[in-house]
Amino acid sequence: MVLCDLDSFKLYNDRYGHLAEDEVLQRVANALVGTFRTGGSSYRFGGVKFLVMLPEQTLKSASVAAERLRTRWKR
């Protein structure tokens, strides 16, 4: 499992509002689905967190996948 949290998202929400927040969260969820191997799944885990399930992966391969995701979206 990987827990993802969107940093500084409150600033975005304060500036653009809840409707824009919902659209961004949907886009993030769709991007998560396309990032991991077949069989992986993601779920909104309250607020601006997502839980990603990576079944049948070793700790090492799951760590590589999580790091790939982190560096892909880091700004």
**How is the chain split into domains, by residue range?**
2-73
Instruction: For residue range 14-26, list pLDDT tens digits in order.
Output: 999 989 988 988 8
Residues 6+ apart with CB under 8 A from 44: 25, 29, 50, 51
Please indicate, yes or no, whether the overall pTM of this predicted structure exceeds 0.85: no
| Mean pLDDT, all residues of the chain | 83
**Which one of 3.40.50.2300, 3.30.70.270, 2.40.30.10, 3.40.50.720 gives the CATH number of domain 2-73?**
3.30.70.270
Phi-psi region of 62 (alpha: psi -120 to 50; beta: other; left: phi over 0): alpha
